[in-house]
Amino acid sequence: MTDQIKKKGSSITRVLEILEAIGEAKHPPSPLDLSIALDIPKPSIHRLIQFLEKEGYVKVDLYGGLLTGSRVKKLLFNVWDNEKFRIERISILENLSNKIGETCGIAILQENHMLYVDRVQTNWPLQVYLPVGSTVPLWCTSSGKLFLSYLDAEKRANILRNIPMTPYTKNTIIGSEALEKDIQTIRQNALGTDNEEFIAGMVACSVPIFHPNGKILASLYTHAPTIRKSLEDLVSFEDDLRQAANDLNLHIQSSLK
C-alpha cells in the first residue's frame, strides 16, 4: 500500500510539474522539451500529456506546442473571483474610478479575445455598457493591443495574420503595417490605447498588471464616451492608472503567498 501511495504521489507531482512548466514557458514547449527539462522519460511524458489533454488541462497548438487548457483557466478564474480576494481589487477600482470619473476594470486574455473579469461602473447617465463576462477583440481594443505588444513579433504576426479583422468603425486599424506600428508604440509606452477603434464614440486606455514572474497577467483599463472625455483626457490619468496597477500587483503577490 505504501508503495502504491508513493507511486501515486509521484505521478501527481509530475502532473503538477508539467502544468507549472507549461504555464511558465515563454513559448509552448513540446513533449520532448518537458521530458528533458523535468527529467521524465519520454513514454511517461507522452502518457501524462495524453491524459491531461483528454481531461482538458492542456491543449496542443498548431505547431505541436503545449498550452494550458480550459480547465486550468477555469480554475484560475475561480480563484481570481474568490470573494476574499475580489473585495480588495474592487476597492482599488472604485478609488481609481472616482479619480477619473469614468468606468474602470480589469481584463484578462481568453483564447483570442479579452475577457472583462472585474469592473466598477461610473454613475454618469451616459455610459458604455460592457459588463463583466464580456469579451472584446484583441486587435482593436486598448487591452487587447496591450497584450499583443508583449508578444514576440513573429508570434504576433502569426496571430494577426489569422484573425479576421473587421472594420468596426472608421478608425479601426486593419492594415498589418499600420497596426504593427501602433502596437510597437504601445509597447514602448506600456500604455494601450483605443481611439474609437472598437466602438464609435468610445475611447479607452490601459496599463499592464504583472504576475510576480514578470509576465503580463491582466490589463487595467478605463473607457469613456467621447462626448465626455477625449483619448487625451483619459491618458492624462496615466499616473493614477499606474499607481492602481501597482496596488493590484501587490494584491496579486499577497494572494499568491
Q: Provide the residue ranges of all domains of the chain, joining segments of one domain with +.
A: 2-69, 81-255
**pLDDT in the model for residue 137:** 92
CATH architecture entry for 2-69: Orthogonal Bundle (1.10)
The CA distance from 35 to 18, in Å, is 9
The CA distance from 71 to 171, in Å, is 37
**pLDDT in the model for residue 98:** 95
Q: In CATH terms, are 2-69 and 81-255 the same topology?
A: no
C-alpha cell at 252: 496579486
- Alpha helices for 25-165 (secondary structure H): 31-38, 42-54, 70-80, 83-100, 142-149, 153-162
The CA distance from 174 to 167, in Å, is 7
Q: Which residues of 191-208 are buried (b: 16+ CB within 10 A; e: fewer)?
A: bbbbbbbbbeebbbbbbb
**pLDDT in the model for residue 78:** 60
**pLDDT in the model for residue 82:** 58
Question: How crowded is residue 42: how many other Cβ atoms within 10 Å of its Cβ?
Answer: 12
**CATH homologous superfamily for 81-255?**
GAF domain (3.30.450.40)
C-alpha cell at 164: 479576421
Residues of the chain with pLDDT under 50: 1-9
Contact 151, 173 (CB under 8 A): no
Q: What element of type H or E holds 194?
A: strand 192-195
Helix (H, G, I), strand (E, B) or coil at 175: coil
